[in-house]
Amino acid sequence: MNTPLDVRRDGDVAVLTLNRPEALNALNAELLRQLCRALVDADADAGIGAIVLTGAGDRAFTAGMDLKEAAQRLDDFGPDAQPAATLDACRTPVIVAVNGLCVTGGMEIMMACDVVYASSTARFADTHVRLGLLPGWGISQRMSRQIGLQRAKELSLSGRFVDADRAVDIGLVNRVVEPADLMPTALELAHEIAGHQAEAVQGYKALIDEGYAMGLHEALVMEHGRSVAHIKSMSSHHLEASRVAVTTQNRAATAP
């Protein structure tokens, strides 16, 4: 019997797949609980440097909440089934590979990830207003900050679908690729990130995330303080190794 979430490892990358394709990967309570546990486990694994999240099949990343189950068993969607909050707490970068539909709760999960790659067949919609609901996983705040206030209102107050080309044009996703290239492209980036020092990657991710919530001056002060503290914590051997690595990379980048 298939589990609602497929978890596998591709070297130093964890691959999490929403696995209810017969229901367009709709988010029921058990799937959300398994997703949150898998994210926490991957984040705690020193051998994992990046996480890729996607959906089974080619029709949907996820069509959003399983509303039938939610209506019958609302209490099941408790603190252990809150994926956006779990993603916010995740130190390890998460790349989401969106294949097909990405609707409402799916968009809330997507926007809590660090990088979004989409298939050219992907379609996006925030349908809270169509259902007479208000969001609770952050989309009302994240989307306006990401794509602008008026664009966010246009999408969320209408419930309209947008295709992949429009999504990349307005900055909703990072990149659009053909369906067959989606997972290879996401995994390529994940392995590139995972190949760097975990402490530096996690520290830099935290700088970006925490600074984004601050004013510019406050964020710059925070960055400087953490940079100085980090350099002071490094050994002379580490600093020399970093200098050699940068020199080698620069030579390779400028080679004819």
Cβ atoms 66, 77 nearer than 8 A = no
Question: Residue 104 carries which DSSP code?
Answer: T
Structure tokens at 212: 């984004």
Q: Who contacts 243 (Cβ-Cβ below 8 Å, separation ≥6)?
A: none
pTM of the model: 0.91
pLDDT digits (tens, 9 = 90+) for 144-159: 999 999 999 999 999 9
pLDDT digits (tens, 9 = 90+) for 36-71: 999 999 999 999 999 999 999 999 999 999 877 766
Output phi, psi for 172, to 5 deg.
Answer: -75, -30
pLDDT digits (tens, 9 = 90+) for 31-40: 999 999 999 9
The DSSP code sequence of 189-255 is HHHHHHTS-HHHHHHHHHHHHHHHTS-HHHHHHHHHHHHHHHHHHS-HHHHHHHHHHHHHHHHHHH-
Output phi, psi for 200, to 5 deg.
Answer: -70, -45
Distance CA 224, CA 54 (A): 36
